Structure 1
């Protein structure tokens, strides 16, 4: 099962997963229970998108998997096991800023999928607004996760409590707005940057979810 899980993954993803498993087992053997728990929890969170994508028959592009794994590794493992949240003042801000843009893009891809990739099923601004709401929801759920981890397992993911949570929510809002803006520009045919390429890559790997978009694109190219 482990071989099947690691096979075909990006080298960066496979190395991080292997490091987490090795750390968890070594810490367990040495009696460092908290480190073992944090490492294994990080590994479980990192592989969850792969299992969910498999169940939903979604193909995840390599950049998405790498970004997800690095974010979880940096936030849960590095942030907690090595106390980077306290040692590096900008660690939490940087992680939330980067992840919130990803949440916005994920929100756009989800909304676009609901319309089967039909660019004309709803006005671009409406789809961008819904994508923003989805991105904010994902960010809020992460804050709930941080609270539960602090409450149940005695971690310190929230640091200063309410102030940290509100700062994170505001950063999530800015990132979700940027991600949804990228989706808006993509719908208007004005997207020509890295975000548009990521959107195209995801759609190309999951054509069955975006049938109308691909059919319309084929017509436009004739």
Structure 2
């Protein structure tokens, strides 16, 4: 947090507005759990917070501010694959928790929960690609990684969407197996911790 604060002050002094905005998003992410707890009476497990901070730091700070996307050829692919996995987890948890909540009289099938998780993750990935296109067109950036062999950035965009969808599919399919056939699901412990920290939200 201290490092980010110093970086924020430096970027403000240097009037690097885009980098300043990205670092500000990271700082907001750090305080997000407090917001959930105070406004929604929800307490996020430490693992959720840790994953979110690491991903935002790797994608925004290392990727954009420190230019890892340009320095390391596989950084963009790795981050978009991870994004698909993480957004798949978020989408799955949103519907699964809603399905189990005592505040909502609604029962959804395993197939619907898995489909929602997949569509949610792919939609977030698509919105991000639109954001990259907008930033490139308006501010003259190179978020779509335009290259000599592909000045349009289309190849980068398509690979980003493909690996994002693959990551989302992995989470959706394994989540479906977990609900439908009680197979092992690697985020089962996260679900259990979330329920334990927020017992008032769930059916007994």
1:159 shift after superposition:
1.0
Cα distance in structure 2, aligned partners of 1:131 and 1:35: 31
Select 1:141's aligned residue among 124, 127, 134. 127
In structure 2, stretches of 5+ residues that fail to align are 147-152
Q: Please state whether the residue corresponding to 1:159 is helix, strand or coil.
A: coil
Q: Distance in 1 between matches of 2:44 and 2:174?
A: 19
Length-normalised TM-score, structure 1: 0.74
Instruction: Indicate which of 148, 151, 154 corresponds to 1:162.
Output: 154
Q: Is the aligned partner of 1:37 residue 2:23?
A: no
1:96 equivalent in alignment to 2:80: yes
Distance 1:72 1:149, change over 3 A: farther
Q: Are 1:42 and 1:77, in contact at CA under 8 Å, matched by a contact in 2?
A: no
Q: Distance in 2 between matches of 1:96 and 1:88?
A: 14
TM-fit CA distance, 1:109:
1.0
Residue aligning to 1:199: 191
Residues 85, 36 of structure 1: alpha-carbon distance in 2 compared, 3 angstrom cutoff: closer
- What TM-score comes out, normalization by structure 2 length? 0.80
- 1:142-201 Cα offsets, whole Å, 9 max, x none, are 223333333444433221322212111111111111111232122135343532222222
Distance 1:121 1:66, change over 3 A: same
Give the root-mean-square deviation of aligned CA atoms. Answer: 2.6
How far did residue 33 of structure 1 move? 2.4
Match of 2:94 in 1: 110
